[in-house]
Structure 1
């Protein structure tokens, strides 16, 4: 599995080696040794999530604070999304910067979003099914949300219309007012 660092060096885009023929295809979607070698992070994935969204749905920017901070390994198995990670570690030289990638069923790429980063995506196709592994369980008391359109972050969502948001995401805090990582 090949990988590349995005605009934020801790956020990695993984591209699997796909073996295909007239019968279909096969690829390793996760290999602990290769993942640890690439990220330097000994992940203990404890929860898998699966969501489906229609075109224009934007989910994010979500994260969990310690002691339930989550790393996420995300991918799309149907459709396409533009996926974003934002560095929300005050001590980081990249605080408030973002990186993004097009994830699709076709390209089979995965994005690693480490703890200390907010995460979100917007659905670009009629529907998209999104799978992700997390390094901690969902803990609503630790969950936070930063406004998807915070101008200090300035994410280019690659979506030209007003997105559909949940009530929770409509209440996202500005980065300057949000509880973040030290």
Structure 2
């Protein structure tokens, strides 16, 4: 398995080797040794879940309070999706910037997002399945969202697909509104969290 850090610090893409034969394909979406080498600490698993989405379904931009935050390792096990990571950490050198990656069930790539980063994706096909390994269990009181259509973010949603968005995400605050409300993660607090994970 290969990995690379994205342009947003704390976000990594993982690319496994896919083994095809006349029966189909096989790949290891996650290996502990490679993950630990890339991130600096083992994957902590608090919750596993998946979502099934129609083409055009847009979920996010979501993030959790830090500490403890919620890190995510996301793969696509059916169909394809455009996955977007947004740096929401106030004080980060890449605050307000984003990076993206197409995940599908053919290449079997995964993306890891450290605590404090925002996550969103759009399904590019019907019946797309996104699978998430989350470091903590879902805590609705600590979960927040940012408007995925915030013009200041200018996220790269395909222009030829009509987005399907929940009321929660459609009515989410912009990045600047969340910043003014003091709702965004602090970069120093996130960095301290990462350091603690690497030493424990």
Structure 1 and Structure 2 fold alike (TM over 0.5): yes
Note the residue ranges of structure 1 that are not aligned, 5 or more in a row. none
1:33 aligned residue: 33
2:191 aligned residue: none
Structure 1 residues 11-160: aligned runs within 5 Å: 11-160=11-160
Give the 3 Å change call, closer, same or farther, for CA 74–159 of structure 1 in structure 2: farther
Q: CA contact under 8 A between 1:83 and 1:120: conserved in structure 2?
A: yes
Note the residue ranges of structure 2 that are not aligned, 5 or more in a row. 187-200
Q: CA contact under 8 A between 1:68 and 1:142: conserved in structure 2?
A: no
- Count of equivalent residues: 182
Mapped to 2, the partners of 1:156 and 1:27 lie a distance apart of: 29
Give the 3 Å change call, closer, same or farther, for CA 41–89 of structure 1 in structure 2: farther
Q: Deviations over 1:14-38 (max 9, x none)?
A: 1101222112322222111210101
Q: Displacement, 1:162?
A: 3.5
1:3 aligned residue: 3
Q: Which has the higher helix share?
A: 2
Structure 2 length as normaliser, TM-score? Answer: 0.86
Structure 1 length as normaliser, TM-score? Answer: 0.94
Moved over 6 A (4+): none
Q: Deviations over 1:35-63 (max 9, x none)?
A: 01012243211111110000111000011
Three-state SS of the structure 2 residue aligned to 1:176 is helix
Three-state SS of the structure 2 residue aligned to 1:55 is coil
Q: CA contact under 8 A between 1:56 and 1:159: conserved in structure 2?
A: no
